[in-house]
């Protein structure tokens, strides 16, 4: 397993934590893609990641708006940078059948999500609770 959910990643908001667990599962599915996997399966997994990741980030952003989180602009800018980077990977993957790009993507995802969850997201946890 590439990413394993742990309680240290929790922001103590059930909806957000459950969504993150699903994101970890999607990232693990991408990580397990083998050489020779059909491009259609790869594209489908990347699209699922992009769509569900955006859905999750949108959920956080709704909380920021609802509770007028003071650092929401900074946080949303990080989300937008993530969305842009994933889109760039999606374009690269769609133009190539090289699984090396998928591995680059999974490494980016692991680094980004763990850093974002453990640092940036922990800053809003107490505020929103």
Q: pLDDT: is 129 or 52 the higher one?
A: 52
Q: What is the pLDDT of residues 93-105, one digit of tens each?
A: 988 877 788 999 9
Distance CA 47, CA 41 (A): 10
Range of the domain at 88: 15-31+54-128
pLDDT given at position 7 = 93
How many domains in the chain?
A: 1
- Which strand (E) or helix (H) includes residue 65? helix 39-67
Q: pLDDT: is 9 or 37 the higher one?
A: 9
Is 49 part of any domain?
no
Is 20 part of any domain?
yes
Is 104 part of any domain?
yes
Band of residue 124 on the pLDDT scale cut at 50, 70, 90: very high
Rounded average pLDDT over 106-115: 95
Contact of 72 with 64, CB cutoff 8 Å: yes
Is 1 part of any domain?
no
Distance CA 40, CA 97 (A): 10
Is 106 part of any domain?
yes
Band of residue 1 on the pLDDT scale cut at 50, 70, 90: confident
Rounded average pLDDT over 62-84: 96
CATH of the domain at 22: 1.20.120.50
Is 39 part of any domain?
no
pLDDT given at position 126 = 87
Is 59 part of any domain?
yes
Degrees (nearest 5) of the Cα angle 103, 23, 105?
A: 20
Nearest Cα to Cα of residue 46 among 89, 96, 100: 89
């Amino acid at each position: 397993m590439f990413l394993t959910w742990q309680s240290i990643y929790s922001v103590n908001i059930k909806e957000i934590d459950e969504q993150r667990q699903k994101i970890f599962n999607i990232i693990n599915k991408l990580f397990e893609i083998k050489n020779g996997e059909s491009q259609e399966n790869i594209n489908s997994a990347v699209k699922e990641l992009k769509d569900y990741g955006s859905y999750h980030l949108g959920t956080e952003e709704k909380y920021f708006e609802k509770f007028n989180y003071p650092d929401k602009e900074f946080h949303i800018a990080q989300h937008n940078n993530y969305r842009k980077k994933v889109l760039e990977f999606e374009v690269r993957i769609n133009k190539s059948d090289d699984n090396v790009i998928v591995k680059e993507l999974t490494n980016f995802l692991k680094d980004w999500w763990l850093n974002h969850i453990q640092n940036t997201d922990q800053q809003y946890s107490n505020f929103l609770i």
